[in-house]
Amino acid sequence: MSLQAVVGPMFAGKTSSVVRKYTANTKLGRSVVIVKPSFDNRYAEDHVVTHDGLVAPAIKVRSVADIDRTQSVYIFDEIQFFDEPMFSGDVVALIMDLRGRGCTIFVHGLDLDWKGDPFPVTSRIVNIADSTLYLTAQCAVAGCQRCADRTYLKTSCRDGTGAIRLGGHQEYEARCTRHWQDEGAAGAVSVAAA
């Protein structure tokens, strides 16, 4: 039994890790389910799809009650969205219950929103995880070779609504701390990265 958190900015390979873990555990003959929030319908309703096209089957859920408790391995994608108003119930309590039953749980998601604020659900998971893997991307600023640990919302996408916005390359970039601070969060509205 174990709980691993895999966190980082957008384009760091978190959903690719979901697909790899699903494939590896399925090959070992384990009963595996990928759980994703119903809010995330960017690429497919009943699959997780990476930004570069890798695919694995998934169930989408709106509440704790939607999650089957009979599997041996649970893989959560986009854990930051397992919170109100997109999700009903305490997913952290559910995950602790599953771990107590001897299940293996992998949780993937953004640790910080585009303003640099922690996502509450992700923070709670990291605090109880047996291990945490922090992934990085490469800074999207031309000529920069630094590791990107931040998600940057492009200025042209800031609409001031304060709504959570799903997105991809058109809306977001991975940036190193220096380039995120240079053009990033100061005075920004509250829009969460996906």
Q: Which residues are catalytic?
A: 78
Q: What is the four-CA torsion angle of 60, 130, 136, 16, rounded to 10 degrees?
A: -40
Beta-ladder partners of 137: 148
Q: What's at 76, amino acid-wise? A: F
The closest of 17, 59, 54, 64 to 35, measured between CA atoms, is 59
Beta-ladder partners of 142: none
Asked if 129 and 107 touch (Cβ cutoff 8 Å), the reply is yes
The closest of 79, 92, 101, 102 to 127, measured between CA atoms, is 92
